Amino acid sequence: CNIMKVFDVLTFAEPIIKKLLEANINPKDVQYLELFSEYQRLSSEGHKTTYIEAVLCEEFDIGKTKFYEIIKSFSSQI
């Protein structure tokens, strides 16, 4: 059984973690990847943002403000 320690994981992921921190990206935002993928899909299908917001806020149990924060953050360039 090959068990890793926290140190091992952090050492392995150090370059990526440093890049995330430099870009002010919260690693916890990984939980919103599916939401943003759904946003992109619905948007590409021609749905209005207010409709997408209503659907995804309900589906992912988040507020309107958080929805727009996620969309803005995930759409920004680094």
- Predicted TM-score of the model (pTM): 0.83
Residue 78: predicted pLDDT: 84
Residue 54: predicted pLDDT: 98
Residue 45: predicted pLDDT: 98
Per-position pLDDT tens, the chain of length 78: 678 899 999 999 999 999 999 999 998 999 999 999 999 999 999 999 999 999 999 999 999 999 999 999 999 998
Residue 34: predicted pLDDT: 98
DSSP per-residue codes, the chain: --PPPHHHHHHHHHHHHHHHHHTT--GGGGGGHHHHHHHHHHHHTT--HHHHHHHHHHHHT--HHHHHHHHHHHHS--
